[in-house]
C-alpha cells in the first residue's frame, strides 16, 4: 500500500545527491565511482565521528542529571567542549604495552574491532537516496561483519598476556555468543514477511500508511513488536551496554579484557563500542521502525535523512536511559536470560510471523481475530516463561534494611 | 583487472594457510587460518556469490573460529605446550602416509573432474531465488544437514558432560 510517491522529490531530499553530482560529475567512470565511494566513506566517518563525540557528552550529562549532579560543565559553555578535551587527553596519554604481550596482536585487536564496527555502516539506508552500498543481501552482510567483534575481543584478551584479561575475554565471548542467537533470530520474521534480505527492500516494504494514518512499520505488528524488543535487548548485550556491561564493568573488574590497554588504543575500543551501538540502532530503525519513512503523511516535507537521524538519536538516548536505570546483571543470570528466555521467545516469534504471513488474506472481522491470535502468541509465552523463570525469586524481601 | 584481483586473493589465502602450518604458536596459526577463511570469502565475493561469501564470514570467521580457539585454550596447559618434534619415526611415517593419501584422493578427484564449461553468460542468481531453491527443491537436504549437525552438537555436549561427571566423582572420593 504505497500511497505517496513524490516525483520529483523536494529539493532538500535530493540535496546530498545534487552536491555529490556537482563535486564528482565532471570525472570519468572508474574515477567517478572511486570518488563517490571515497566521499561516502569520509561522510560516514565524519557524521558518525561527530555523533560519537556528541553522544559521549550527552551520556555524561544525562547520567549526571539522573544521579542528581550537573555532569561535565567546566569546559566551554555548558561543558560543550568536553569531548575535545577528552580527545586531547587520551591522545597524549602514554601508550603502555606489557613487556610479555604479543605486540602485533595487542595492536591489531582494537583496529579490527573498530574496522568491523565501521564497515557495518556501509549498508544502512540513511535516507531515500542515501545508502553507501546497496547489496542484495545487505542485512546478512551487516551481521557477518559484526561476527569479527568476537575475534577482536579474544585477541585483546589473549595478547595482553594477563590471566585476568584472558578470563575476562572468555566471559565476554560467552556473553556475545549467547546473545548472537536471539539477535539473529529476532530479525528473521522481518526477512520472512518482507521477502528480501536487502536493507533498502525492507525499508520499501514499510512504506505507506494503513487507514491513512497508521504507518505500516514492522513495529506496529505483534511479531514486529516482539522482534524489536528482543532485538534491542540482544543489541544492548552485543554492544556491552549496561545492564549487560560486565565484560568491562568499570567499578568491579578493572575493565576486563581492556585491563592492559591505555591511551589511544583504549579510546579505539571505546569508540568501537559506541559505533557498534550506533550501527545496531541504525539497523533496528531500518528493520522495525520504518527506516527513513515519516510517521505521518503530513510530515513528509521533512527530508528522509532527518527522520532517520531522529529515530536513531531516540534509540541512542534510550540506551543511555537504560544505563542510568538498571543495575548490572551477574554472568549466570545473563546467560540464563538469553538461553531460557530470549531464544525461546525469538523462536516462537518466528512462528507468529509465519501465522501472520499465512493469514494475510483474512479481512473484515477476521482481521480482528488475526490481531488477537497474534497478540496472544506474543504475550502468552512471555508471561508464562517470565513467571516460571522468576518463580521463587521475587518479590525480594529486605531482612536488614528497613 | 579481475585476474589481478584473483591472483592477489589466491596469494593471500595460500600464504596465510602456508604460514599457519609452519608457525609454532598455535594461536597465531588459528588467526592466520581465519585470514585464510577470509580469503576464501573474498574469493566468493570476487566470483559474484555474495550470499555464500557472507555466510562463509558468519559461519567460519564468526563461529568456527571461536570453537577452534576455545578448544585450544581449554586443552593447552601453557603457551609453549607445542610438540616441536614427532614422537617416534613410525608415527611420523604414518602421518606422512595419511597426509599424502588425502592429497592423492583430492588431486585425483580434481584432475579427473570434467567441469562443464558454459559459453552462455552466467545467469545472475538473486538471494530470493537461492532461498526459494533451498526451502523448496532442496528442503529435504537442508533438513538432513540440520539434523546431522544437531546430533553432532548433542554428542559433543554428552561427551563434555560425562567428562565433567568423572571429575565430580573424583572430587567426591
Q: What is the CATH number of the domain that holds B76?
A: 1.20.120.1200
Phi, psi at B153, each rounded to 5°: -65, -45
Inter-residue contact B58 to A143 (CB < 8 Å): yes
Q: Is residue B166 part of a domain?
A: yes
Shared domain check, B59 and B1: yes
> How far apart (Å, rounded) are the C-alpha atoms in residues A177 and B62?
9
Query: How far apart (Å, rounded) are the C-alpha atoms in residues B78 and B27?
Result: 12
Residues A39 and A129 in one domain: no
Confidence category of residue B156, pLDDT binned at 50, 70, 90? confident
Q: Is residue B143 part of a domain?
A: yes
A84/A104 same-domain check: no
- Within 8 A by CB and 6+ apart from A91, the residues are A263, A264, A267
Asked if the structure places residue A116 within a domain, the reply is yes
Region A298-314: what's the mean pLDDT?
86
Residue B159 lies in a domain: yes
Sequence-distant (≥ 6) Cβ neighbours of residue A151 within 8 angstroms? A112, B31, B34, B61, B65, B66
| Domain boundaries, position A87 | 17-92
Task: Give pLDDT, residue B125.
Answer: 72
Whole-angstrom distance, CA of residue A294 vs CA of residue A312: 13
Same domain, A60 and A183: no
- Flag whether A87 is in a domain: yes
Q: Does residue A3 lie in a domain region?
A: no
φ and ψ of A130, to 5 deg = -115, 85
Report the number of distinct structural domains present in chain B. Answer: 2
The structural domain count of chain A equals 2
Find the angle CA(A66)-CA(A168)-CA(A110) to the nearest 5 degrees: 80
A158 half-sphere exposure, CB direction, 13 A CA radius:
24
Same domain, B56 and B131: no
Do B10 and B72 sit in the same domain of this protein? yes
Cα dihedral A140/A144/A149/A155 (nearest 10): 170
**Residue B109 domain-assigned?**
no
The answer to whether A247 and A240 are in contact (CB under 8 A) is yes
Nearest CA in chain B to A197: B127
Cα-to-chain-centroid distance, residue A331: 22
Contact A140 B51 (CB under 8 A): yes
Instruction: Assess if residue A10 is contained within a domain.
Output: no
Can you give the residue range of the structural domain that contains B22? 1-80
- Boundary (domain end) residue, out of A60, A92, A124: A92
Nearest chain B residue to A147 by CA distance is B62
Residue B170 is assigned to a structural domain of this protein: yes
Q: Residue B164 has what pLDDT?
A: 56
State residue A3's pLDDT score: 40
* Whether residue B144 has pLDDT greater than 50: yes
For cell 565524519, name the residue.
Answer: A46
Q: Is the peptide bond before A89 cis (omega within 30 degrees of 0)?
A: no
Cβ contacts of B51 on chain A, cutoff 8 Å: 136-137, 140, 197
Distance from CA of A67 to the nearest CA of B (A): 39
pLDDT of residue B148: 93
> Residue B167 has what pLDDT?
57
pTM of this structure: 0.85
Domain membership of residue A55 (yes or no) is: yes
Any domain includes B116? no
- Considering CB atoms only, which of A150, A158, A195 is closest to B62? A150
A83 and A101 within one domain:
no
User: Does residue A112 sit in the same domain as residue A69?
Assistant: no
- Whether B58 and A143 lie within 8 Å, measured CB to CB: yes
Of A298-302, B116-120, B144-148, which gets the smallest average pLDDT? B116-120
Contact A207, A218 (CB under 8 A): no
- A178 and A29 within one domain: no
Q: What pLDDT was estimated at residue B171?
A: 56
Cis omega (within 30 of 0) for bond into A395: yes
Beta-carbon separation of A195 and B128 below 8 A: yes
Does B55 fall in a domain?
Answer: yes
Domain-located, residue B92: no
Nearest-neighbour CA in chain A from B156: distance (Å):
17
* B3 and B76 in a common domain: yes
pLDDT above 70: residue B84: no
Q: A138 and A272 in one domain?
A: yes
A289: Cβ–Cβ under 8 A, 6 or more apart, which residues?
A217, A218, A219, A228, A311, A315
Smallest CA-to-CA distance from A278 within A224, A228, A238 is with A238
Same domain membership, residue B76 and residue B2: yes
Give me the pLDDT at residue A166, please.
Answer: 85
Position A331 in a domain: yes
Amino acid at each position: 500500500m504505497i500511497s505517496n510517491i513524490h516525483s520529483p522529490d523536494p529539493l532538500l531530499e535530493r540535496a546530498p545527491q545534487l552536491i555529490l553530482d556537482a563535486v564528482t560529475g565532471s570525472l570519468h567512470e572508474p574515477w567517478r565511482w572511486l570518488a563517490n565511494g571515497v566521499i561516502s566513506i569520509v561522510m560516514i566517518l565524519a557524521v558518525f565521528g561527530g555523533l560519537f563525540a556528541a553522544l559521549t557528552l550527552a551520556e555524561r550529562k544525562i547520567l549526571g542529571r539522573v544521579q542528581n549532579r550537573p555532569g561535565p560543565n567546566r569546559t566551554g559553555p555548558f561543558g560543550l567542549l568536553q569531548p575535545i578535551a577528552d580527545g586531547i587527553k587520551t591522545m597524549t596519554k602514554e601508550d603502555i604495552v606489557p613487556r610479555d604481550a604479543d605486540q602485533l596482536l595487542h595492536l591489531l585487536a582494537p583496529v579490527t574491532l573498530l574496522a568491523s564496527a565501521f564497515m557495518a555502516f556501509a549498508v544502512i539506508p540513511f535516507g531515500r537516496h542515501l545508502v553507501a552500498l546497496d547489496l542484495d543481501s545487505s542485512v546478512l552482510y551487516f551481521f557477518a561483519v559484526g561476527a569479527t567483534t568476537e575475534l577482536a575481543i579474544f585477541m585483546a584478551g589473549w595478547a595482553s598476556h594477563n590471566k585476568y584479561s584472558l578470563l575476562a575475554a572468555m566471559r565476554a565471548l560467552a556473553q556475545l555468543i549467547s546473545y548472537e542467537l536471539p539477535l539473529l533470530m529476532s530479525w528473521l520474521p522481518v526477512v520472512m514477511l518482507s521477502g528480501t534480505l536487502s536493507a533498502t527492500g525492507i525499508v520499501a516494504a514499510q512504506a505507506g500508511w494503513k487507514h491513512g494514518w497508521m504507518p505500516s512499520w514492522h513495529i506496529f505488528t505483534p511479531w514486529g513488536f516482539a522482534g524489536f524488543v528482543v532485538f534491542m535487548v540482544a543489541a544492548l548485550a552485543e554492544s556491552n551496554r549496561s545492564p549487560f556491561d560486565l565484560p568491562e564493568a568499570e567499578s568491579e573488574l578493572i575493565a576486563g579484557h581492556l585491563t592492559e590497554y591505555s591511551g589511544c588504543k583504549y579510546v579505539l575500543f571505546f569508540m568501537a563500542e559506541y559505533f557498534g551501538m550506533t550501527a545496531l540502532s541504525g539497523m533496528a530503525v531500518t528493520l522495525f521502525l520504518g527506516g527513513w519513512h515519516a510517521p505521518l503523511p503530513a510530515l513528509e516535507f521533512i527530508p528522509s535523512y532527518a527522520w532517520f537521524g531522529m529515530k536513531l538519536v531516540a534509540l541512542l538516548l534510550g540506551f543511555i536511559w537504560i544505563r542510568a536505570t538498571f543495575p548490572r546483571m551477574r554472568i549466570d543470570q545473563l546467560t540464563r536470560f538469553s538461553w531460557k528466555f530470549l531464544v525461546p521467545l525469538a523462536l516462537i516469534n518466528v512462528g507468529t510471523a509465519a501465522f501472520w504471513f499465512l493469514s494475510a488474506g483474512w479481512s473484515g472481522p477476521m482481521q480482528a481475530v488475526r490481531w488477537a491470535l497474534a497478540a496472544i502468541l506474543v504475550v502468552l509465552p512471555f508471561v508464562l516463561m517470565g513467571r516460571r523463570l522468576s518463580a521463587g525469586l521475587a518479590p525480594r524481601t529486605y531482612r536488614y534494611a528497613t | 583487472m579481475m585476474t589481478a584481483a584473483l591472483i592477489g586473493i589466491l596469494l593471500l589465502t595460500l600464504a596465510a594457510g602456508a604460514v599457519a602450518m609452519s608457525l609454532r604458536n598455535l594461536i597465531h596459526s588459528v588467526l592466520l587460518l581465519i585470514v585464510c577463511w577470509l580469503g576464501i570469502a573474498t574469493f566468493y565475493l570476487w566470483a559474484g556469490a555474495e550470499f555464500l561469501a557472507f555466510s562463509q564470514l558468519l559461519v567460519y570467521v564468526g563461529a568456527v573460529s571461536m570453537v577452534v580457539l576455545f578448544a585450544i585454550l581449554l586443552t593447552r596447559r601453557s603457551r609453549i605446550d607445542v610438540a616441536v618434534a614427532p614422537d617416534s619415526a613410525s608415527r611420523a611415517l604414518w602421518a606422512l602416509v595419511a597426509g599424502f593419501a588425502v592429497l592423492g584422493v583430492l588431486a585425483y578427484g580434481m584432475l579427473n573432474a570434467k567441469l562443464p564449461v558454459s559459453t552462455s553468460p552466467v545467469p545472475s542468481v538473486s538471494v530470493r531465488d537461492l532461498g526459494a531453491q533451498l526451502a523448496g527443491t532442496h528442503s529435504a537436504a537442508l533438513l538432513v544437514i540440520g539434523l546431522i549437525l544437531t546430533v553432532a552438537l548433542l554428542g559433543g555436549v554428552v561427551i563434555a558432560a560425562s567428562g565433567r561427571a568423572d571429575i565430580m566423582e573424583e572430587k567426591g572420593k
